[in-house]
Structure 1
Amino acid sequence: MAGKDNITIHDAVWMAWAALCAFLIIGIVAAQAWPLVVDIGKRDARFAIGFHEPETDIINLTQFRWSNGDSTIALPQPPMLTPSLITLRLPNGRPTDTAPPRVTLTSDVGKLASFAFPDFRPRIYRLLLPPTARFDWAIRIDIVSDTVTPPNDARPLGVAVDTAILAPVRAPITLPSLWTAICALMIGAPGFALPRAAGLAPRSAFIASLTLALLIAAGIWLRPLETLPFFQRFVAILLIGWIGGTLLRILLPPAIEPEHSAPVISGVYLPVAMAVAWWMPPLMQAYLSIDGAPLVAPPWPVVWIGCGTFVALLIGGAAAYARTGRSGLARAALIVLSISAVIHLGYSIGFAYTRQAPDFWILFRSAREWTRGGSLYDIHAVLTNHFGHVFKVPPFYGMLFVPFVTMDGLTVLLGHRVMNTVLIVATALIWLRMWRLPLVSLSAASLLILFNFRPLADTLAYGQIDLVLLFLLTLALWALRSGRDGAAGALVALGTLFKIYPVLLLAFFVVKGHWRALIGFVAAMAVYNGVAIAVIGWNEHLTYLTQVLPNIGGTTSWVENQTISGFLARLTDSPRSATIYQNEMVRLLGTLISGVAALAACVLALRPTSRDSTGYALQYGLFLLLMVLASPAAWMHYETLLIVPFGTLILHLRERTVSLPYAVAVAISFALIAYGNQWSFYDGTVHGVLTIAGVSYKFYGMLLLGGVLTFEALREPAPALLPRLARTIARPGQ
């Protein structure tokens, strides 16, 4: 006990140092961020509350907003105990036949001023704000005025506001605001506690905390208006992460005591870490909703399922711990979390059945148009923006809808969804059969946790084909493990006729020397397309090959596109843009990085593995990851395929011990990919650099997954590359 107490005191000292360093770094930088100039006409509702939409002054070519008679300007808190000067530029744009507005300005400390505009010219008003120590991210200036309602405009118009400038009066010593000070301390303390809970050594945890403080300070220095108003959200992320890490330390029995080394857990319980991490994003959604972000609160069914899961963990965990100790607690947690996953999956599937399925209707209506004498393809729409609601897949895919076009579309949609629901169950059963896992086992329970996967539900909701691809590519892996290479190639060929990107698996076949799989692919493509030509005709195929396929390249910065190219595009374009990205240099850079990633996967796949091993399946899974990471454009629901590499990881590590930091990395990757979609943390408003960074959260999850798969692949013996290539060419069956 003395050793553990010393460790606790040691951690407390490190934590205090981390908090102090974060306070000094952030406090010094925050004191240099002033003055802050807020263009009310361009900034969002974080600063302009109760204002109408932006308008443009055609004379001065500036943007402004009309107040509604009782509006508020929110500005980051100025330094503590320091008076500040606020400057307001108010372009009075009322019609000349109306009375000038009378305005009253108030703040947190009371009434500031009351005045009437003397005429209709724009004016600048400067007011001195007394010091304040209010514990809030913002100081709020309320603008109360009478309103007018012009002809042909039903809006009540108060006063036009162009710009607000907040500048603290210079003082010999400038202290950060109380809000900034507390948040800075919280950045340091939980910034240390989180990596410690995840199993890092004190020194490493301190470095992580210091690095985070420096990054936030850089954000304040470079983009103060995009960082200071959201300071508290960094704290929330750290605290929620610490909750998850602490819960893992409670639920999972360590194999090694922390004072000797990083905690190590049995790989059997890795799914517990994944499930616990999955429940952290809803907590973040709840906090964001409290912090004023609209439309991002967790759905009430998720809240109730989460509360029930927590209660079940308390009751079941306590009972199991009393009987069998920590190992029983971990098993009970795995069972409770797997049941919770099934309940949530059921809710997700039920909700998916109520959605509009826009992708299904594109396919259905295109097939119906063909049966009426038209074409599957709208070439103008393809050339204008193929990322819109456009039919752009091979004719084979459209052919499958032809027998149903005379039926009611809603009935066909229901059948499509029922088919995909059956495929979810079928894929899970195939996975159990392929790996010879008992239906009632901890491994089967782990699979239930794995299938609580939002991309899977979104595929069902949108009427997409990714569940069919998951089914086909799971069967292809089974065929390869069984030595049925020709069947594997035929399955990949079928998938390629739904979406082009499964063609990447041809590189896996080449690297592994699976030449019969290549033959199977070519033969199956000839058969499938021959059937499609017989049904649809050659003209549609010619149109696809000559006018559609050459014009559906490129990328987009749209929030759903979580690929390497999509991430780079969002650095220079808005995540709200669903059009073709035009910056050629960035597009080339994305293509280059994606090509390097593909080459790295090929090199890793050269490492020798037995066909029936999990190492072989992990190499296969790397190429499934490439399909949704290295493609120019791949929507979030395409990540349905990543169930295969995650499932393989669970099996690969179940007979091993795993360090807690490594388990946390896998769990974070799973949570980022498995929870939520493009609207879970984003309401369409771009707050600046933090929004641009935040909407790519699934991209970060895929990078983490790629890192984990690479690490596991490198555990295999390194081959001599040229001799290995020679052997695979000489003995294609190997």
Structure 2
Amino acid sequence: MIPGLPRTDRGRTLLVLLLATVVTAFTATVPLLRDWFDLRVYYGSIDSWVHHGGRIYDYRVPGTTYGFTYPPFAAVVMLPMALLDLRTAIAAALLLNLAALAVILRLLAGPSWRRHGRYGWALTACLLALFEPLRDTFSFGQVNLLLLALVLTDATLLATGRTRWAGIGIGLAAAIKLTPALFIGLLLVAGRWRAAAVATTVALGATGVAAWVDPDASRFYWTEALWDTDRVGRLGYVSNQSVQGILARLGEPDRAVWAAAVALICAVWAVRARRAVVAEDWTSAFALTGLAACLVSPITWVHHLVWLLPSFAVLLRTGHPRIAGALYAVLCTSVVWLWFDDASGADGFLGSNTYAWITLGLLLWL
């Protein structure tokens, strides 16, 4: 029993209702609401491709310069949206994200998940609703939770010794979005050659399927769209909480400096992830890989930071609830947006990159 929390069912119910009210008021008034923007990009691209003979990467959300930026296999996976209207697609995205979140929590909790009970999970739901990366993932209609669920499924398979199917989730995630490809690197660092081969084969096979479905789109993505960061957004935008984002807010980023920083981060990650694997702590190894992926990716929007959730699970599991609570609370505040207009000066350097500093700190000291 945690000191200070109610001990009766009535007291617990009142606490959950109070927290739910506070969370509802907060999320309805404080955060930036995203109006399903990313989902509208997906939906518009698929609709244009299937029903109007357009090309996947030519579509732009009306009034913006933003269009589809994922590998072609992601569009293939999203083809069922062509059968839906936009409102139904939004509802389906909500349900899929909720299901993915439930899977993630179940996998991170491990065998102890039943001990938390309905009361514990109700409190967890209230706290998760405040987490800015999670709020943004739902509000944008993003796919990050689905990818994290795929990746963590492989972590569980490896941790429990059921390695026959290990690598499939990572391979699919990497074919849908490039960031999870670093988890193939984790399998190589860990010496899990079979799982790495499975993940690579699945990723290449899925990419091949997309090339068969739409050769022109695949050719355009891998030769042009992949290298055009302007399609994704401005590197110096405050939501970009990667190393590249830090450098861009300081001025025109130097490629050599960025490459050196990425190499150093990858070296630290490889050493620490290897140690975690040797200790048979796959949750920590996957948590460290998620942190490194967020840092080295050229663009890591705030909603990408759902990859930090395994790190908080590790902190709680290893007896550091105060550190986990403090860092988690910061990630609920939307604090980086205070420097939306001007990230100059020492305060801008520290404040506008707050989430990146947290990610780096967790990579070094998790």
CA distance in 2, matches of 1:488, 1:436: 22
CA distance in 2, matches of 1:406, 1:399: 13
Q: Residue 651 of structure 1 aligns with which residue? A: 317
CA 1:343/1:597 → structure 2, altered by over 3 Å: closer, same or farther?
farther
Aligned pair partner of 1:471 in 140, 145, 149: 149
Aligned pair partner of 1:378 in 45, 48, 58: 58
Q: Deviations over 1:165-219 (max 9, x none)?
A: xxxxxxxxxxxxxxxxxxxxxxxxxxxxxxxxxxxxxxxxxxxxxxxxxxxxxxx
Q: Residue 604 of structure 1 aligns with which residue? A: 272
Displacement of 1:407: 3.2
- 1:253-652 matched pairs, under 5 angstroms: 355-371=34-50, 372-378=52-58, 389-434=66-111, 437-440=114-117, 447-448=124-125, 451-452=128-129, 453-534=131-212, 536-552=213-229, 556-572=235-251, 583=252, 585=254, 587-607=255-275, 609=277, 615-652=281-318
Q: TM-score, normalised by structure 1?
A: 0.43
CA 1:340/1:599 → structure 2, altered by over 3 Å: closer, same or farther?
farther
CA distance in 2, matches of 1:409, 1:639: 26
Q: Deviations over 1:107-157 (max 9, x none)?
A: xxxxxxxxxxxxxxxxxxxxxxxxxxxxxxxxxxxxxxxxxxxxxxxxxxx
Whichever residue aligns with residue 671 of structure 1, its letter is A
Q: Residue 334 of structure 2 aligns with which residue? A: 676
CA distance in 2, matches of 1:637, 1:417: 15
Q: Deviations over 1:38-83 (max 9, x none)?
A: xxxxxxxxxxxxxxxxxxxxxxxxxxxxxxxxxxxxxxxxxxxxxx
CA distance in 2, matches of 1:691, 1:393: 31
Q: Does the aligned pair in 2 maintain the 1:450–1:647 contact within 8 Å?
A: no
Displacement of 1:470: 2.1
Question: CA-atom RMSD, angstroms?
Answer: 3.7
The higher relative CO (CA closer than 8 Å, separation ≥ 6) is in 2
CA distance in 2, matches of 1:469, 1:700: 24
CA 1:426/1:618 → structure 2, altered by over 3 Å: closer, same or farther?
closer
Displacement of 1:418: 2.3
- 1:101-250 matched pairs, under 5 angstroms: none
Q: Residue 358 of structure 2 aligns with which residue? A: 701
Q: TM-score, normalised by structure 2?
A: 0.82
Q: Residue 325 of structure 2 aligns with which residue? A: 667
Displacement of 1:531: 3.6
CA 1:443/1:402 → structure 2, altered by over 3 Å: closer, same or farther?
closer
CA distance in 2, matches of 1:590, 1:476: 30
Q: Deviations over 1:284-312 (max 9, x none)?
A: xxxxxxxxxxxxxxxxxxxxxxxxxxxxx
Displacement of 1:466: 0.9
Q: Deviations over 1:92-118 (max 9, x none)?
A: xxxxxxxxxxxxxxxxxxxxxxxxxxx
Whichever residue aligns with residue 271 of structure 2, its letter is V
Q: Residue 82 of structure 1 aligns with which residue? A: none
CA distance in 1, matches of 2:253, 2:345: 23
CA 1:547/1:568 → structure 2, altered by over 3 Å: closer, same or farther?
closer
Whichever residue aligns with residue 409 of structure 1, its letter is L
Helix, strand or coil for the counterpart of 1:393? Answer: coil
Count of matched residue positions in the alignment of Structure 1 and Structure 2: 356
Helix, strand or coil for the counterpart of 2:117? Answer: coil
Q: Does the aligned pair in 2 maintain the 1:334–1:446 contact within 8 Å?
A: no
Question: Which structure is higher in strand share?
Answer: 1
Whichever residue aligns with residue 432 of structure 1, its letter is A
CA distance in 2, matches of 1:446, 1:481: 28
CA distance in 2, matches of 1:421, 1:697: 27
Question: Which structure is higher in helix share?
Answer: 2
Q: Does the aligned pair in 2 maintain the 1:437–1:444 contact within 8 Å?
A: no
CA distance in 1, matches of 2:32, 2:215: 36
Extract unaligned runs of 5+ from structure 1.
1-267, 273-312, 321-332, 382-386, 573-582, 710-734
Q: Does the aligned pair in 2 maintain the 1:348–1:457 contact within 8 Å?
A: no
Whichever residue aligns with residue 563 of structure 1, its letter is S
Whichever residue aligns with residue 594 of structure 1, its letter is V
CA distance in 1, matches of 2:253, 2:291: 25
Percent identity of paired positions between Structure 1 and Structure 2: 22
Q: Does the aligned pair in 2 maintain the 1:669–1:704 contact within 8 Å?
A: no
- 1:24-173 matched pairs, under 5 angstroms: none
Displacement of 1:671: 2.1
CA 1:425/1:604 → structure 2, altered by over 3 Å: closer, same or farther?
closer
Q: Does the aligned pair in 2 maintain the 1:359–1:463 contact within 8 Å?
A: yes
Q: Deviations over 1:327-379 (max 9, x none)?
A: xxxxxx99998776666666678889974111111111111222222211139
